Every structure is written in structure tokens, then in C-alpha cells.
Amino acid sequence: MSDTTPIQHFIRTIIDGDLASGKHRTITTRFPPEPNGYLHIGHAKSICLNFGLAQDYQGACNLRFDDTNPEKESEEYALAIQDDVHWLGFQWSGPVHWASDYFQSLYDYAEELIKLGKAFVCDLTPEAMREYRGTLTEKGRNSPYRDRSVDENLDLFRRMKAGEFPDGSKTLRARIDMASPNINLRDPVIYRIKRAHHIRTGDAWCIYPMYDYTHCISDALEKISHSLCTLEFEDHRPLYDWVLDQLPVPSHPQQIEFSRLELHYTVTSKRKLLQLVTQGHVAGWDDPRMPTLHGMRRRGYTPEGIREFARRIGISKSENIVDMAVLEGAIREDLETKAPRAMAVVNPLKVVLSNYQDGVTGSRLAGFHPQHPEFGEREVSISREIWIEQDDFSEDPPPGWRRLKPGGEARLRYSYVVKCDEAVKDADGKVVELRCSIDHDTLGQNPVGRKVKGVIHWLSASHALAAEIRLYDCLFTDPEPDGHKDRDFLEFFNPNSLMVVQGWVEPALKDAAPEAHYQFERIGYFCADRFDHRPGERLVFNRTVTLKDTWNKGHG
């Protein structure tokens, strides 16, 4: 598909400068997810950036789990995340790293800070601490425990670790500056007491280090050259640097912030995605409507398409919300070259071909892809009864209509030109069947003396296979579901985001493998469901994306 030349951006410019000046000889990045949920499209941006830079500059990229919140983290999430990174096409350098691998070092460094007079044990309750912290416009006040002696702090911190104090009763705080205009520097908590079972360290620890303290030291221990994170961490950078400046760590990585990816009509917050799952609004983290990588995979999005999307949106510091059309466009372009063509009928209308003659009326071979003869071909069989799409017939069509209408003609794709002789209606006047006649001289050739412009897709009723077809619409009815101050994002949940219909597909799809992609001609790109589709038994196809961009029409 499109070219894969990296697009220059400010982070690449910084790296180019660091390599040119000799500050670094090679680069090392890391992707640091917290195993507290499945990855979403926003994480894909960060994965493509971190792993992509490592590839381009022949450096390394670590996968490091930021596992410092034991209550919210699980093995299931950690495994799903590794799966996603591989699926997107990346491999981390060396083994998987865990922040918990560094718990002992982090603890030792904390004792170091205490000995330097740069950390103290504080007994303030969370409420009192908040009060002492001050506000954006008001300085904070020193904790009454701030001037404890080094010996007392060491003794208390060791006893915190030994489990002598109840959860939440004490914290270890960095001793920086309660008057700092940057609230992150107002003696931030770096350790808390929490008796929680940890997925890796079990019950070995009852004190856990905070993210800001853990992250910079983990980066330093792994000798990360460029620590890339999203803009909300910009105000945390002074703390990142402060911690590393106090301690004899082996390196001092440079933190660089870039803007988060936000997408219209969906949410990219693990907390909100978790809510959709736990409250049953969707079928799970891998529901194809979810912006998770597991959901997108199940829907039929390709890793190549997602990587191309990430390349196109680029990297910058400006906040912006990307249109779903950009993502869908990248997926569509990738599938265009990859997906075999086939016919399917989603809303069937029966057509009886009144002059069909067994043995006289013939079938044709059709290629699976117009540009890829190597995809092979299949026979498109015809019989007396066929299915067409309901909306390919109109009794009273608008001007310019090229599909079937009473007395009108259209070509059946890969087959004959047919003429609609009669529309059969039920008691309510609804058209339930068409009677058409074949022009027997039009198989593979144009009719003589007239032009038939319309081509419609269809299936032989006696050959077609029943299939469950899942059609998706956007998950929310509002472009920014979480952008309303006094309204909950769930109020904008789209109840029509999933529509399941019983349709028909070509017999050639009988043994389609789970996750196989197809273009159903004139309808869209579809993918055999990864889990519910069983070749030869139960056919289930998910609509990945429509053939044309629909975002400018139905969605405002």
C-alpha cells in the first residue's frame, strides 16, 4: 500500500541532534503500559512511535509493565497487551520488563533519599495532605512531619515495609518545595502502604512506590535514551528530573511529551472502556465496536492499516481529535489490495428467473481480485431462484436509477442481464418477490441495441450459504462523548451500534478461515469472526468498514 517512509517530527529531530552531537550512540525507547485494561487505539500510536523509532534508528525498544497498582492489575491484561504488541507487528528487545522487577532497587533508592534528607515519612491523612498541598493560586504548607530526623525517617520507613502500620496511615514523601508553583513538586508521595496481592510479587510487599517515582528510575535503570509520554506528563517532568538528579542512577533519560490520540465518536480512556465492559454495554474488551486493539482485530482491522494510520496522523504537541474517517481510510486502503472479492446479500429479496433453463443457462468463472489473478477464481453459479439486495429494486425510483425497477434491466454481476417483469406483493403491499427474465445472449457480452448500465450483486438461492452478518455503527452518537461537562459519556451510547442480520454468502466462503478478509462487492469489507465463525458449520462475518466513506453523510 502506501509508502512507509517515516514522516519527520520533532522527536525525530531531537534524536537526530542527539546522535549527531554524540550525546547518544544508539537510542533506546520503551512502551510502558499499566496492565489494568486492554490497549486501545491511543496506545497503538505510542507503540508505533516507540517501536517504530527503535526500528528506524536500529535501536531498542523495551516493553515494560508499569505494575505499581496491584489492585487494578491482572495477568489477563498483561498477556493481552503482549499479544497486541506482537499482532501490531512489533517485538520488544530482550525479556518483558516489569516495574516490579525494580521494587528492591526502588526501595534502596528511597532509603538513599531519606539519608540525603530528601524524603520523609508523613503521618498526614489524605484529606489533611490535600489541604496542606494548597492550590494553583495558593502555596502549600509544610507538613508537621517534614523535619523528622534521618534516623527517625529510616526507622519509620523500614517499619512501614515490615508491615507495622495500617494501610494509608503513613506515606513516604519527597522533600522538595511546598511553595513550588508546580504542584507536582510539593512534597509528592513516593510510597504508600497498601496490603494488596501483586500479580508478580504476591504478598512480598505491603508498600508500593508511586508512578512518578517508579517511572523515572525504571527508565534510568534500563538506560532509556528518550522516554516518550503524552502531554499530561509535561508538568511531571520536573519531578522526573528531580528524582534522577538526587540519586546515583546509571543514566538520566530525557522525557519528551507528545499529544494523545483522541478519536471522534469513541473514547480512549481505559477507565471508560472498562465501564463499558463491566456494565455490559458491549460484549467484552474485544467487542468489534470497541476502540481496543482486540476489538479492532476482531472487527477486521489490519495491523498494516493501523500502522499506516499512525504514520498519517503524525506526532506533535498540538491537541487534536482525529476523524474516524482517517482511520477507516487507512484500513480500507489496506484491505483494497488484500481482500478477495465475493458476493453476499445482506437484506435478501427473492427473484424468480422465469425463463431460466437448466443446462442452457450457464455459469461463469470470476476472479477473486481484479488486480491479483493469483488469488484464483471460482464458479459463480446461477439457478432459477436468486437473492438480490432489497434496495436494488425500487418501484418508483428517483431519476438516474440504474438498478432494477418495473420493466427495467440490470446486469447480474458476472452473469446475465435480467429484466424485471413483475413485482409480487404481500397483503400489505410490500414487495416480496420479483419475476425477472434473462437475456440469454448477455453472458459475458453486452446486449445488442441498448445499453444496460446498472450492475447488481446477487446469489443463487440454491447455492448460497446462510450467514450471520454483523453490521456496526459508531459506539457513540456524539463526536466527543466525554467532552460534556454535565453529561455522562454513557448518555451518548449508540443503541444501534450493532445490527445482526441473517444474510447469504457465496458457497466459495464455506471454508473461510476465522479472520479471513473479504470485500463483499458493493457492500463493504468483512472479516470472518475470530471466535464465533466456524468454517463449514457456522458462518459469521463482521463488517470491518463500508466501501465508501460514510462519515461525511450520516454523522454530521
Catalytic residue list? 34, 260, 270
Which of the stretches 41-49, 308-316, 415-423, 514-522 binds ligand ATP when contact is defined by CB under 6 A?
41-49
In eight-state DSSP terms, residue 364 is: E
Residue nearer to ligand ATP on the CB measure, 32 or 348: 32
Three-state secondary-structure class, residue 269:
coil
> Site size for ligand ATP, by CB under 6 A?
15
Residue nearer to ligand ATP on the CB measure, 34 or 478: 34
Residue nearer to ligand ATP on the CB measure, 198 or 270: 270
Residue nearer to ligand ATP on the CB measure, 122 or 229: 229
Residue nearer to ligand ATP on the CB measure, 229 or 382: 229
Residue nearer to ligand ATP on the CB measure, 261 or 412: 261
Q: In 3D, which of 418, 392, 395 has the Cα closest to residue 406?
A: 395
Contact in structure between 541 and 467 (CB atoms under 8 Å): yes
Cell numbers for 340: 478477495
The only residue of 28, 29, 46, 542 in contact with ligand ATP, by rule CB under 6 A: 46
Residue nearer to ligand ATP on the CB measure, 270 or 530: 270
Residue 268: phi and psi, rounded to 5, are -125, 70
Q: At its nearest, how many Å lie between ligand ATP and the CB of residue 534?
A: 34
The full DSSP string for 399-424 is TT--SB-TT-EEEETTS-EEEEEEEE
Which of the stretches 32-40, 68-76, 213-221, 238-246 binds ligand ATP when contact is defined by CB under 6 A?
32-40
Quote the distance between the C-alpha of residue 393 and its chain's center. 38
> How would you class 461 by CB atoms within 10 Å of its CB: exposed for 0-12, middle for 13-18, buried for 19 or more?
middle
Q: At its nearest, how many Å lie between ligand ATP and the CB of residue 67?
A: 10
The only residue of 216, 229, 380, 434 in contact with ligand ATP, by rule CB under 6 A: 229
CA-based angle 199:204:210, to the nearest 5? 70
Q: Is 9 in the site for ligand ATP (CB under 6 A)?
A: no
Q: In 3D, which of 2, 61, 14, 1 has the Cα closest to residue 315?
A: 14
CA-based angle 382:386:389, to the nearest 5? 125
Q: At its nearest, how many Å lie between ligand ATP and the CB of residue 480?
A: 14
Contact in structure between 68 and 99 (CB atoms under 8 Å): yes
The only residue of 24, 29, 33, 544 in contact with ligand ATP, by rule CB under 6 A: 33
In eight-state DSSP terms, residue 514 is: T
Cell numbers for 289: 465496536
Which of the stretches 39-47, 347-355, 424-432, 438-446 binds ligand ATP when contact is defined by CB under 6 A?
39-47
Q: Is 43 in the site for ligand ATP (CB under 6 A)?
A: yes
Residue nearer to ligand ATP on the CB measure, 251 or 316: 316
Contact in structure between 381 and 363 (CB atoms under 8 Å): yes
Q: Is 225 in the site for ligand ATP (CB under 6 A)?
A: no
d(CA 271, CA 256): 25
The only residue of 119, 261, 434, 459 in contact with ligand ATP, by rule CB under 6 A: 261
Q: Is 73 in the site for ligand ATP (CB under 6 A)?
A: no
The only residue of 230, 347, 477, 550 in contact with ligand ATP, by rule CB under 6 A: 230
Q: In 3D, which of 214, 203, 268 has the Cα closest to residue 244?
A: 214
Q: Is 539 in the site for ligand ATP (CB under 6 A)?
A: no
Q: How far lies 67's CA from each of 34, 135, 249, in Å?
A: 6, 30, 21
The only residue of 42, 300, 303, 329 in contact with ligand ATP, by rule CB under 6 A: 42
The only residue of 269, 275, 361, 383 in contact with ligand ATP, by rule CB under 6 A: 269
Contact in structure between 365 and 397 (CB atoms under 8 Å): no
Q: Is 268 in the site for ligand ATP (CB under 6 A)?
A: yes
The only residue of 27, 29, 32, 464 in contact with ligand ATP, by rule CB under 6 A: 32
Partners of 468 in the beta sheet? Answer: 502, 540
User: Which residues between 241 and 260 bind ligand ATP (CB under 6 A)?
Assistant: 260
In eight-state DSSP terms, residue 54 is: H
Q: At its nearest, how many Å lie between ligand ATP and the CB of residue 268?
A: 4
d(CA 275, CA 488): 12
Q: Is 264 in the site for ligand ATP (CB under 6 A)?
A: no
d(CA 374, CA 179): 70
User: Which residues between 52 and 71 bind ligand ATP (CB under 6 A)?
Assistant: 66
Which of the stretches 28-36, 97-105, 137-145, 502-510 binds ligand ATP when contact is defined by CB under 6 A?
28-36
Q: At its nearest, how many Å lie between ligand ATP and the CB of residue 98?
A: 13
Range list of β-strands (E), 329-376? 341-342, 344-345, 348-353, 364-367
Q: Is 82 in the site for ligand ATP (CB under 6 A)?
A: no
What H or E segment, with its residue span, contains residue 216? Answer: helix 211-221
Residue nearer to ligand ATP on the CB measure, 270 or 419: 270
Which residues are within 8 A (CB) of 131 and not within 5 positions of it... i.e. 6 or more apart?
none
Residues found near ligand ATP in the complex (CB under 6 A): 32-34, 42-43, 45-46, 66, 229-230, 260-261, 268-270
